[in-house]
Amino acid sequence: YISTATTTTTTTTTTATYTSSINMAASLNLETVAVTADTESGIVRVELNRPKNLNAMNMQLFMDVRKAFDTLSEDPDCRVIILSGRGKGFTAGLDVLEPKSLPAPTPEVSRYGFNFMKHLTIMQDAFSAAESCLKPVIAVPHGPCIGAGIDLITACDVRVCTASTVFSIREAAVGLAADVGTLARLPKIVGNESLVRELALTARNFSAQEAKEMGLVSRVLASEEEAMKAALEIAKQIIANSPVAVAGTKKNLNFARDHQVAESLDYVRTWNACMIQSEDLKKAMKAAMSKSKPTYAKL
């Protein structure tokens, strides 16, 4: 592993060969997020990297998350991103002890309101970067996944977790409405308005098994190691497909979620009118007929 986190400089050898030849990923030098690239497969790991604070999210972390996803979206060597947290848990949520978690007070309330909206937009855009990233993002929470942690994982494409993961939409218990994505995305993910309202209004904890039953996560694994193994297997299956088709599928799923069926059909019709001319389609059909594995160009 070659990590770009400023707190990690050592290199260890694993069964896969990890080097820094994914240039865009290797160029990231982030304070609160570790980025590790597997140049053989194109899998990039993004890890929340404030383990001493249970990965509590300060403003630097929001900005680092934004930079990581924006960079990897444009990196032709990156095919799939796996998101996790270092240490004992995914995240304890917003770092309420960090003064910069809220904008500085102003003498006049309306001007503070404008400052707050600018501040919150930075936080919202950071997590939306995972959603808009052209590369699929697989979230692998473990331990606590509290408050802003749910905001973040609901912006991801696939979610698997450990049996020990504890979730909570904690914001109502600390005096505010969740405002970085959970209330917008979670109802569309689980499709159960009553349950979403129960969880958001009570701010109670819910287990990994309950998360799976409602559809928030697709798999629950016994340990971090098994959860990461499952995520890697999903990533490898995705990578076997055309990067053009994968990016198009993600774009169209996101569009369909937010639009009517007729609009979505028109969008995918227009999309494929261009993308169907890709060499990837020819390669995939040829490989299917010859029962071989196709090799695709980078995106």
> What is the chain's length?
299
* Per-residue model confidence as pLDDT tens digits over 165-179: 999 999 999 999 999
Q: What percent of the chain has pLDDT over 70?
A: 92
pLDDT score for 271: 95
pLDDT at 279 over 60: yes
* Average pLDDT, integer, range 259-278: 95
Distance, CA of 14 to CA of 26 (rounded, Å): 18
pLDDT score for 23: 64
pLDDT score for 14: 34
Cβ contacts of 269 within 8 Å, gap of 6 or more: none
* Average pLDDT, integer, range 219-247: 97
* Per-residue model confidence as pLDDT tens digits over 213-224: 999 999 999 999
The number of angstroms, rounded, from the C-alpha of 199 to the middle of its chain's C-alpha atoms is 21
From first CA to last CA, the distance across the chain in angstroms is 24
Q: 123-137, 153-167, 198-212, 285-299: which range is least confident on average? A: 285-299
Q: What percent of the chain has pLDDT over 90?
A: 79
pLDDT band at 151 (very low <50, low <70, confident <90, very high): very high
The number of angstroms, rounded, from the C-alpha of 275 to the middle of its chain's C-alpha atoms is 25
Count the Cβ atoms, other than its own, within 10 Å of residue 269.
9
Strand order, beta sheet including 43-48? 33-38, 43-48, 80-85, 137-139, 158-162, 219-221
Cβ contacts of 22 within 8 Å, gap of 6 or more: 37, 39, 42, 44, 75, 77, 78
Backbone angles phi, psi at 44, to 5 degrees: -120, 130
* Per-residue model confidence as pLDDT tens digits over 64-122: 999 999 999 999 999 999 999 999 999 999 998 887 888 888 889 999 999 999 999 99
* Per-residue model confidence as pLDDT tens digits over 42-68: 999 999 999 999 999 999 999 999 999
